[in-house]
Amino acid sequence: MTGFAATLTKECWAALGGSPQALDQVAFESPGGLPSVFAVTDLASATIAAAGLSLAELSYVLSGKQARIRVDRRLSSIWFWASIRPIGWQPLPAWDPIVGDYPTSDGWIRLHTNAPHHRAAVQRVLGLEGDKAAIAQAVGTWSKTALETAIIEAGGCAAEMRSIAEWSEHPQGRAVSREPLAHLATAEPGSLPKWSLDPMRPLAGLRVLDLTRVLAGPVATRFLAGFGAHVLRIDSKDWDEPAIVPETTLGKRCARLDLHTVEDRKVFEQLLSRADVVIHGYRPGALDRLGYSSKVRRQLSPGLVDVSLDAYGWSGPWADRRGFDSLVQMSTGIADFGMKRAQANKPVPLPVQALDHATGYLLAAAAIRGVTRRLQKGCGCDARLSLARTAQTLIAHPLDEAESPLAPEGLSDRTEDIETTFWGQAQRVLPPVRIDDISMRWEMPARPLGSDPAEWF
Protein backbone atom coordinates (compact mmCIF):
# COMPACT_ATOMS: atom_id res chain seq x y z
CA MET A 1 0.00 0.00 0.00
CA THR A 2 1.20 3.52 -0.75
CA GLY A 3 0.04 7.10 -0.20
CA PHE A 4 -2.55 8.60 2.13
CA ALA A 5 -4.95 5.72 1.47
CA ALA A 6 -2.43 3.33 3.01
CA THR A 7 -1.78 5.65 5.94
CA LEU A 8 -5.46 6.11 6.65
CA THR A 9 -6.18 2.38 6.28
CA LYS A 10 -3.46 1.60 8.80
CA GLU A 11 -4.91 4.18 11.19
CA CYS A 12 -8.49 2.94 10.80
CA TRP A 13 -7.58 -0.73 11.08
CA ALA A 14 -5.49 -0.12 14.20
CA ALA A 15 -8.38 1.80 15.78
CA LEU A 16 -10.61 -1.23 15.13
CA GLY A 17 -8.10 -3.53 16.81
CA GLY A 18 -7.12 -5.33 13.61
CA SER A 19 -3.89 -7.20 13.06
CA PRO A 20 -1.28 -5.07 11.23
CA GLN A 21 -0.18 -8.12 9.22
CA ALA A 22 -3.56 -8.11 7.44
CA LEU A 23 -2.72 -4.79 5.79
CA ASP A 24 -0.40 -6.58 3.37
CA GLN A 25 -3.49 -8.06 1.69
CA VAL A 26 -4.83 -4.63 0.62
CA ALA A 27 -4.18 -3.00 -2.75
CA PHE A 28 -5.60 0.22 -4.22
CA GLU A 29 -6.45 0.94 -7.84
CA SER A 30 -7.26 4.06 -9.92
CA PRO A 31 -5.34 7.35 -9.70
CA GLY A 32 -6.73 10.81 -9.02
CA GLY A 33 -9.05 12.16 -6.39
CA LEU A 34 -12.16 14.18 -5.63
CA PRO A 35 -11.67 17.97 -5.79
CA SER A 36 -10.86 18.90 -2.21
CA VAL A 37 -8.10 20.35 -0.04
CA PHE A 38 -8.42 17.18 2.05
CA ALA A 39 -7.68 13.56 1.14
CA VAL A 40 -11.35 12.67 0.64
CA THR A 41 -10.77 9.95 -1.95
CA ASP A 42 -8.14 8.37 0.27
CA LEU A 43 -10.52 8.49 3.24
CA ALA A 44 -13.21 6.80 1.14
CA SER A 45 -10.78 4.13 -0.02
CA ALA A 46 -9.35 3.55 3.45
CA THR A 47 -12.64 3.16 5.28
CA ILE A 48 -13.99 0.82 2.61
CA ALA A 49 -10.70 -1.09 2.87
CA ALA A 50 -11.18 -1.38 6.63
CA ALA A 51 -14.63 -2.86 6.08
CA GLY A 52 -13.13 -5.23 3.50
CA LEU A 53 -10.39 -6.26 5.92
CA SER A 54 -12.98 -7.14 8.54
CA LEU A 55 -14.81 -9.37 6.07
CA ALA A 56 -11.60 -11.04 4.94
CA GLU A 57 -10.72 -11.68 8.58
CA LEU A 58 -14.09 -13.31 9.22
CA SER A 59 -13.77 -15.41 6.08
CA TYR A 60 -10.31 -16.53 7.21
CA VAL A 61 -11.67 -17.66 10.57
CA LEU A 62 -14.35 -19.65 8.74
CA SER A 63 -12.17 -21.18 6.03
CA GLY A 64 -8.50 -20.78 6.91
CA LYS A 65 -7.95 -19.11 3.54
CA GLN A 66 -6.46 -15.63 3.36
CA ALA A 67 -8.34 -13.31 0.98
CA ARG A 68 -6.90 -10.35 -0.87
CA ILE A 69 -8.70 -6.99 -0.83
CA ARG A 70 -8.64 -4.69 -3.85
CA VAL A 71 -10.18 -1.24 -3.45
CA ASP A 72 -10.96 0.96 -6.43
CA ARG A 73 -10.34 4.56 -5.34
CA ARG A 74 -12.49 5.93 -8.13
CA LEU A 75 -15.48 3.69 -7.43
CA SER A 76 -15.08 4.37 -3.71
CA SER A 77 -15.36 8.09 -4.43
CA ILE A 78 -18.46 7.54 -6.53
CA TRP A 79 -20.12 5.48 -3.78
CA PHE A 80 -19.41 8.34 -1.36
CA TRP A 81 -21.67 10.44 -3.59
CA ALA A 82 -24.40 8.01 -4.66
CA SER A 83 -24.61 4.42 -5.86
CA ILE A 84 -28.01 4.34 -7.57
CA ARG A 85 -28.59 5.31 -11.20
CA PRO A 86 -32.34 5.61 -11.88
CA ILE A 87 -33.71 4.64 -15.27
CA GLY A 88 -36.50 7.01 -16.32
CA TRP A 89 -37.15 8.58 -12.91
CA GLN A 90 -35.43 10.97 -10.52
CA PRO A 91 -35.01 10.89 -6.73
CA LEU A 92 -36.44 13.79 -4.76
CA PRO A 93 -34.18 16.77 -4.00
CA ALA A 94 -31.73 16.00 -1.21
CA TRP A 95 -32.13 19.31 0.63
CA ASP A 96 -35.01 21.31 2.07
CA PRO A 97 -35.35 24.69 0.30
CA ILE A 98 -33.96 26.70 3.21
CA VAL A 99 -31.04 24.43 4.11
CA GLY A 100 -27.79 26.25 3.52
CA ASP A 101 -24.94 28.48 4.64
CA TYR A 102 -25.91 32.02 5.61
CA PRO A 103 -23.81 35.08 6.45
CA THR A 104 -24.39 36.44 9.94
CA SER A 105 -23.29 39.79 11.34
CA ASP A 106 -19.88 38.29 12.21
CA GLY A 107 -19.35 35.17 10.11
CA TRP A 108 -21.25 32.20 8.73
CA ILE A 109 -23.78 29.68 9.98
CA ARG A 110 -25.32 26.58 8.43
CA LEU A 111 -28.99 25.82 8.99
CA HIS A 112 -30.12 22.20 8.63
CA THR A 113 -33.87 21.96 8.08
CA ASN A 114 -34.48 18.69 6.25
CA ALA A 115 -36.66 17.36 9.08
CA PRO A 116 -39.94 19.30 9.52
CA HIS A 117 -39.41 19.80 13.25
CA HIS A 118 -35.91 21.15 12.65
CA ARG A 119 -37.25 23.60 10.07
CA ALA A 120 -39.97 24.67 12.51
CA ALA A 121 -37.35 25.36 15.19
CA VAL A 122 -35.42 27.69 12.86
CA GLN A 123 -38.62 29.49 11.91
CA ARG A 124 -39.60 29.97 15.54
CA VAL A 125 -36.23 31.46 16.42
CA LEU A 126 -36.20 33.79 13.42
CA GLY A 127 -39.88 34.65 13.81
CA LEU A 128 -40.83 34.05 10.18
CA GLU A 129 -41.79 31.36 7.68
CA GLY A 130 -40.44 33.03 4.57
CA ASP A 131 -38.33 31.81 1.66
CA LYS A 132 -34.54 31.60 1.57
CA ALA A 133 -34.13 35.31 0.86
CA ALA A 134 -36.24 36.24 3.87
CA ILE A 135 -34.34 33.75 6.03
CA ALA A 136 -31.04 35.24 4.87
CA GLN A 137 -32.13 38.76 5.75
CA ALA A 138 -33.17 37.66 9.24
CA VAL A 139 -30.00 35.62 9.82
CA GLY A 140 -27.87 38.64 8.91
CA THR A 141 -29.06 40.49 12.01
CA TRP A 142 -27.72 37.81 14.37
CA SER A 143 -24.23 36.93 15.53
CA LYS A 144 -23.32 33.38 14.57
CA THR A 145 -22.83 32.12 18.12
CA ALA A 146 -26.07 33.63 19.40
CA LEU A 147 -28.08 32.18 16.53
CA GLU A 148 -26.49 28.74 16.82
CA THR A 149 -27.26 28.68 20.54
CA ALA A 150 -30.84 29.84 20.05
CA ILE A 151 -31.61 27.27 17.37
CA ILE A 152 -30.07 24.41 19.34
CA GLU A 153 -32.03 25.41 22.44
CA ALA A 154 -35.22 25.48 20.33
CA GLY A 155 -34.62 21.86 19.28
CA GLY A 156 -33.19 22.66 15.85
CA CYS A 157 -29.93 21.97 14.04
CA ALA A 158 -27.35 24.61 13.16
CA ALA A 159 -23.59 25.12 13.23
CA GLU A 160 -21.55 28.28 13.10
CA MET A 161 -18.43 28.12 10.96
CA ARG A 162 -15.31 27.78 13.08
CA SER A 163 -11.69 27.49 12.04
CA ILE A 164 -9.67 24.38 12.81
CA ALA A 165 -7.79 26.36 15.45
CA GLU A 166 -11.04 27.57 17.04
CA TRP A 167 -12.40 24.04 17.12
CA SER A 168 -9.23 22.70 18.70
CA GLU A 169 -9.65 25.22 21.55
CA HIS A 170 -13.39 24.66 21.91
CA PRO A 171 -14.40 22.45 24.87
CA GLN A 172 -16.02 19.96 22.51
CA GLY A 173 -13.08 19.99 20.15
CA ARG A 174 -10.74 19.24 23.04
CA ALA A 175 -13.00 16.43 24.22
CA VAL A 176 -13.15 14.82 20.76
CA SER A 177 -9.36 15.08 20.36
CA ARG A 178 -8.96 12.83 23.40
CA GLU A 179 -11.30 10.16 22.06
CA PRO A 180 -10.21 7.16 19.98
CA LEU A 181 -11.47 6.86 16.44
CA ALA A 182 -13.45 3.83 17.63
CA HIS A 183 -14.41 3.12 21.24
CA LEU A 184 -14.29 -0.67 21.60
CA ALA A 185 -15.24 -2.74 24.63
CA THR A 186 -15.76 -6.49 25.08
CA ALA A 187 -18.91 -7.57 26.88
CA GLU A 188 -19.11 -10.41 29.36
CA PRO A 189 -18.17 -13.87 28.07
CA GLY A 190 -21.03 -15.96 26.76
CA SER A 191 -21.71 -19.10 24.81
CA LEU A 192 -20.48 -19.63 21.29
CA PRO A 193 -23.20 -18.86 18.74
CA LYS A 194 -24.82 -21.60 16.68
CA TRP A 195 -24.17 -19.85 13.40
CA SER A 196 -23.53 -21.72 10.17
CA LEU A 197 -21.66 -19.15 8.10
CA ASP A 198 -20.39 -19.48 4.55
CA PRO A 199 -16.85 -18.13 3.92
CA MET A 200 -17.98 -16.98 0.47
CA ARG A 201 -20.99 -15.14 1.91
CA PRO A 202 -19.76 -14.47 5.45
CA LEU A 203 -22.73 -12.58 6.87
CA ALA A 204 -25.53 -14.71 5.39
CA GLY A 205 -28.04 -15.62 8.08
CA LEU A 206 -26.96 -13.01 10.62
CA ARG A 207 -29.73 -10.76 11.91
CA VAL A 208 -28.93 -7.04 12.02
CA LEU A 209 -31.38 -4.68 13.70
CA ASP A 210 -30.97 -1.27 12.06
CA LEU A 211 -32.00 1.67 14.25
CA THR A 212 -30.34 4.37 12.18
CA ARG A 213 -31.21 7.41 10.08
CA VAL A 214 -29.42 9.60 7.61
CA LEU A 215 -26.71 8.73 6.61
CA ALA A 216 -23.78 6.95 8.27
CA GLY A 217 -25.80 4.18 9.91
CA PRO A 218 -27.77 3.30 6.76
CA VAL A 219 -24.48 3.15 4.82
CA ALA A 220 -23.15 0.67 7.39
CA THR A 221 -26.17 -1.62 7.25
CA ARG A 222 -26.30 -1.44 3.45
CA PHE A 223 -22.74 -2.77 3.39
CA LEU A 224 -23.65 -5.60 5.76
CA ALA A 225 -26.65 -6.49 3.60
CA GLY A 226 -24.33 -6.63 0.60
CA PHE A 227 -22.59 -9.63 2.14
CA GLY A 228 -25.72 -11.49 3.15
CA ALA A 229 -26.85 -10.06 6.47
CA HIS A 230 -30.60 -10.02 7.15
CA VAL A 231 -31.07 -6.31 7.87
CA LEU A 232 -34.34 -5.11 9.39
CA ARG A 233 -34.61 -1.34 9.64
CA ILE A 234 -37.01 0.07 12.22
CA ASP A 235 -38.37 3.62 12.02
CA SER A 236 -40.99 5.51 13.99
CA LYS A 237 -44.44 5.93 12.51
CA ASP A 238 -43.85 9.54 11.43
CA TRP A 239 -40.23 9.49 10.20
CA ASP A 240 -39.24 9.66 6.53
CA GLU A 241 -36.24 10.66 4.48
CA PRO A 242 -37.58 10.19 0.94
CA ALA A 243 -34.68 11.82 -0.88
CA ILE A 244 -32.14 9.21 0.19
CA VAL A 245 -34.23 6.10 0.82
CA PRO A 246 -33.63 4.77 -2.75
CA GLU A 247 -29.92 5.06 -2.00
CA THR A 248 -29.83 3.52 1.46
CA THR A 249 -32.49 0.80 1.79
CA LEU A 250 -30.87 -1.51 -0.74
CA GLY A 251 -30.95 -5.10 0.53
CA LYS A 252 -33.01 -4.32 3.64
CA ARG A 253 -36.48 -4.84 4.98
CA CYS A 254 -38.03 -1.72 6.49
CA ALA A 255 -40.68 -1.64 9.21
CA ARG A 256 -42.21 0.87 11.62
CA LEU A 257 -42.78 0.69 15.38
CA ASP A 258 -43.90 3.13 18.03
CA LEU A 259 -41.79 2.38 21.09
CA HIS A 260 -44.14 4.43 23.25
CA THR A 261 -46.87 1.79 22.91
CA VAL A 262 -47.00 -1.47 24.85
CA GLU A 263 -47.75 -3.63 21.82
CA ASP A 264 -44.93 -2.28 19.69
CA ARG A 265 -42.48 -2.48 22.58
CA LYS A 266 -43.24 -6.19 22.87
CA VAL A 267 -42.56 -6.62 19.15
CA PHE A 268 -39.32 -4.65 19.43
CA GLU A 269 -38.11 -6.73 22.37
CA GLN A 270 -38.82 -9.92 20.46
CA LEU A 271 -36.83 -8.61 17.51
CA LEU A 272 -33.95 -7.52 19.73
CA SER A 273 -33.87 -10.86 21.56
CA ARG A 274 -33.15 -12.61 18.25
CA ALA A 275 -30.74 -10.01 16.83
CA ASP A 276 -27.05 -10.80 16.42
CA VAL A 277 -26.08 -7.18 15.72
CA VAL A 278 -27.76 -3.89 16.51
CA ILE A 279 -26.61 -0.63 14.98
CA HIS A 280 -28.16 2.55 16.29
CA GLY A 281 -27.67 6.21 15.50
CA TYR A 282 -29.79 7.92 18.14
CA ARG A 283 -28.22 10.54 20.37
CA PRO A 284 -26.54 9.19 23.53
CA GLY A 285 -29.16 8.33 26.14
CA ALA A 286 -32.10 8.19 23.71
CA LEU A 287 -32.51 4.42 23.93
CA ASP A 288 -31.95 4.59 27.69
CA ARG A 289 -34.86 7.01 28.02
CA LEU A 290 -37.03 4.52 26.14
CA GLY A 291 -36.03 1.83 28.63
CA TYR A 292 -33.47 0.08 26.40
CA SER A 293 -30.12 0.83 27.99
CA SER A 294 -27.03 -1.18 27.07
CA LYS A 295 -27.67 -3.40 30.09
CA VAL A 296 -31.25 -4.09 29.02
CA ARG A 297 -30.20 -4.76 25.42
CA ARG A 298 -27.70 -7.34 26.65
CA GLN A 299 -30.24 -8.96 28.92
CA LEU A 300 -32.56 -9.34 25.94
CA SER A 301 -29.78 -10.55 23.62
CA PRO A 302 -26.72 -12.02 25.38
CA GLY A 303 -23.65 -11.84 23.18
CA LEU A 304 -25.06 -8.92 21.18
CA VAL A 305 -22.74 -6.97 18.89
CA ASP A 306 -23.84 -3.44 19.81
CA VAL A 307 -22.61 -0.62 17.55
CA SER A 308 -23.57 3.03 17.97
CA LEU A 309 -22.98 6.38 16.32
CA ASP A 310 -23.34 10.01 17.25
CA ALA A 311 -22.44 13.32 15.67
CA TYR A 312 -20.22 15.27 18.05
CA GLY A 313 -18.46 12.61 20.11
CA TRP A 314 -19.12 10.64 23.26
CA SER A 315 -17.70 13.06 25.81
CA GLY A 316 -17.72 16.82 26.33
CA PRO A 317 -20.56 19.35 26.52
CA TRP A 318 -21.93 18.52 23.05
CA ALA A 319 -22.06 14.75 23.45
CA ASP A 320 -25.85 14.74 23.07
CA ARG A 321 -26.10 17.52 20.47
CA ARG A 322 -28.03 16.87 17.27
CA GLY A 323 -25.79 16.94 14.25
CA PHE A 324 -25.31 15.95 10.64
CA ASP A 325 -22.29 15.68 8.35
CA SER A 326 -22.59 19.19 6.88
CA LEU A 327 -22.91 20.72 10.36
CA VAL A 328 -19.89 18.86 11.68
CA GLN A 329 -17.89 20.12 8.69
CA MET A 330 -18.77 23.68 9.73
CA SER A 331 -18.05 23.14 13.41
CA THR A 332 -14.72 21.39 13.06
CA GLY A 333 -13.09 23.84 10.64
CA ILE A 334 -13.34 21.81 7.43
CA ALA A 335 -15.53 24.35 5.60
CA ASP A 336 -13.44 27.28 6.84
CA PHE A 337 -10.17 25.65 5.78
CA GLY A 338 -11.63 24.90 2.37
CA MET A 339 -12.77 28.52 1.99
CA LYS A 340 -9.35 29.91 2.90
CA ARG A 341 -7.41 27.55 0.67
CA ALA A 342 -9.74 28.32 -2.25
CA GLN A 343 -9.65 32.05 -1.47
CA ALA A 344 -13.44 31.92 -1.68
CA ASN A 345 -15.99 34.28 -0.16
CA LYS A 346 -18.19 31.59 1.37
CA PRO A 347 -17.74 28.22 3.11
CA VAL A 348 -16.26 25.46 0.98
CA PRO A 349 -17.38 22.04 2.26
CA LEU A 350 -16.20 18.64 1.13
CA PRO A 351 -17.43 17.55 -2.32
CA VAL A 352 -19.42 14.67 -0.76
CA GLN A 353 -20.84 13.82 2.66
CA ALA A 354 -17.56 12.10 3.43
CA LEU A 355 -17.87 12.07 7.22
CA ASP A 356 -21.16 10.19 7.02
CA HIS A 357 -19.98 7.65 4.49
CA ALA A 358 -16.57 7.09 6.07
CA THR A 359 -18.05 6.62 9.52
CA GLY A 360 -20.63 4.27 8.03
CA TYR A 361 -17.98 1.93 6.66
CA LEU A 362 -16.12 2.06 9.98
CA LEU A 363 -19.36 1.15 11.77
CA ALA A 364 -19.73 -1.82 9.42
CA ALA A 365 -16.13 -2.86 10.04
CA ALA A 366 -16.62 -2.64 13.81
CA ALA A 367 -19.77 -4.75 13.56
CA ILE A 368 -18.06 -7.44 11.49
CA ARG A 369 -15.07 -7.57 13.81
CA GLY A 370 -17.56 -7.97 16.65
CA VAL A 371 -19.13 -10.92 14.83
CA THR A 372 -15.70 -12.51 14.46
CA ARG A 373 -14.93 -12.14 18.16
CA ARG A 374 -18.34 -13.58 19.07
CA LEU A 375 -17.65 -16.54 16.82
CA GLN A 376 -14.22 -17.12 18.38
CA LYS A 377 -14.87 -16.34 22.05
CA GLY A 378 -18.62 -16.23 22.54
CA CYS A 379 -18.57 -12.69 23.92
CA GLY A 380 -20.46 -9.69 22.65
CA CYS A 381 -18.98 -6.23 22.21
CA ASP A 382 -19.75 -2.53 22.21
CA ALA A 383 -18.41 -0.11 19.59
CA ARG A 384 -18.98 3.64 19.39
CA LEU A 385 -17.95 6.07 16.67
CA SER A 386 -18.73 9.69 15.83
CA LEU A 387 -18.70 12.02 12.84
CA ALA A 388 -16.60 14.57 14.72
CA ARG A 389 -13.85 12.05 15.46
CA THR A 390 -13.84 10.93 11.84
CA ALA A 391 -13.52 14.60 10.89
CA GLN A 392 -10.43 14.86 13.08
CA THR A 393 -8.84 12.00 11.16
CA LEU A 394 -9.53 13.73 7.85
CA ILE A 395 -8.33 17.13 9.08
CA ALA A 396 -4.96 15.57 9.85
CA HIS A 397 -4.48 14.90 6.12
CA PRO A 398 -4.74 18.15 4.12
CA LEU A 399 -3.36 18.02 0.61
CA ASP A 400 -0.45 20.25 -0.35
CA GLU A 401 -1.68 20.38 -3.93
CA ALA A 402 -4.76 19.29 -5.83
CA GLU A 403 -4.87 15.74 -7.11
CA SER A 404 -5.53 15.00 -10.74
CA PRO A 405 -9.26 14.53 -11.32
CA LEU A 406 -10.79 11.08 -11.31
CA ALA A 407 -11.85 9.70 -14.66
CA PRO A 408 -15.54 10.49 -15.32
CA GLU A 409 -18.14 7.83 -14.67
CA GLY A 410 -19.30 5.80 -17.63
CA LEU A 411 -21.87 3.12 -18.40
CA SER A 412 -19.20 0.47 -17.85
CA ASP A 413 -19.10 1.50 -14.19
CA ARG A 414 -22.61 0.14 -13.61
CA THR A 415 -23.81 -3.36 -12.91
CA GLU A 416 -25.53 -5.23 -15.71
CA ASP A 417 -28.37 -6.27 -13.42
CA ILE A 418 -31.49 -4.11 -13.32
CA GLU A 419 -32.84 -3.32 -9.87
CA THR A 420 -36.61 -3.02 -9.83
CA THR A 421 -37.18 -0.56 -7.00
CA PHE A 422 -40.48 0.79 -5.71
CA TRP A 423 -39.86 3.97 -7.74
CA GLY A 424 -38.78 2.34 -10.99
CA GLN A 425 -35.89 0.49 -12.53
CA ALA A 426 -32.32 1.39 -11.70
CA GLN A 427 -28.75 0.23 -11.85
CA ARG A 428 -26.04 0.44 -9.20
CA VAL A 429 -22.46 1.51 -9.52
CA LEU A 430 -20.08 -1.44 -9.43
CA PRO A 431 -18.94 -2.41 -5.91
CA PRO A 432 -15.89 -0.41 -4.78
CA VAL A 433 -14.18 -3.39 -3.11
CA ARG A 434 -13.34 -6.91 -4.27
CA ILE A 435 -12.41 -9.59 -1.76
CA ASP A 436 -11.27 -12.57 -3.82
CA ASP A 437 -14.25 -14.93 -4.20
CA ILE A 438 -16.43 -13.26 -1.56
CA SER A 439 -19.53 -11.97 -3.31
CA MET A 440 -20.88 -8.45 -2.74
CA ARG A 441 -24.47 -8.37 -3.93
CA TRP A 442 -27.90 -7.40 -2.64
CA GLU A 443 -30.85 -9.75 -2.74
CA MET A 444 -33.62 -7.14 -2.41
CA PRO A 445 -34.15 -3.82 -4.19
CA ALA A 446 -34.49 -0.49 -2.41
CA ARG A 447 -37.91 0.18 -0.93
CA PRO A 448 -39.73 2.91 1.06
CA LEU A 449 -39.56 3.01 4.83
CA GLY A 450 -42.31 1.01 6.48
CA SER A 451 -42.76 -1.40 3.57
CA ASP A 452 -42.46 -4.58 5.60
CA PRO A 453 -43.83 -6.19 8.76
CA ALA A 454 -41.68 -5.91 11.89
CA GLU A 455 -40.51 -9.49 11.91
CA TRP A 456 -37.41 -11.52 11.08
CA PHE A 457 -37.46 -13.61 7.94
C-alpha pair distances (Å), 144 with each of 272, 314, 452: 43, 25, 43
Instruction: Please tell me the distance from the alpha carbon of residue 254 to that of residue 19, in angstroms, as a whole number.
Output: 35
pLDDT reported for residue 285: 86
C-alpha pair distances (Å), 156 with each of 84, 150, 362, 398: 30, 9, 27, 31
pLDDT reported for residue 191: 79
Q: 141-149: which pairs have CB atoms within 8 A and are 24 or more residues apart?
A: 141/105, 142/104, 142/105, 142/109, 143/104, 143/105, 143/106, 143/107, 144/104, 144/105, 144/106, 144/107, 144/108, 144/109, 147/104, 147/109, 148/109
CB-CB contact of 253 with 232 (8 Å) = yes
pLDDT reported for residue 457: 83
Angle between helices 354-377 and 40-63 (to 10 degrees): 20
Instruction: Please tell me the distance from the alpha carbon of residue 122 to that of residue 245, in angstroms, as a whole number.
Output: 25
Q: Torsions phi, psi of 426, nearest 5?
A: -160, 165
Instruction: Please tell me the distance from the alpha carbon of residue 59 to that of residue 202, in angstroms, as a whole number.
Output: 6
**Which residues 6+ apart lie within 8 Å of 227 measured at CB?**
55, 201, 202, 203, 204, 438, 439, 440
CB-CB contact of 180 with 197 (8 Å) = no
Mean pLDDT in order along the chain per 10 residues (457 residues) = 83 97 96 96 98 97 96 98 97 94 98 95 94 96 98 97 98 98 90 90 97 96 98 96 96 97 98 98 90 95 96 96 97 98 97 98 98 95 98 95 92 96 98 95 97 96
pLDDT reported for residue 1: 42
The fourth-level CATH superfamily of domain 3-91+182-313+352-435 is: Crotonobetainyl-coa:carnitine coa-transferase; domain 1 (3.40.50.10540)
Q: Torsions phi, psi of 341, nearest 5?
A: -65, -30
pLDDT reported for residue 307: 98
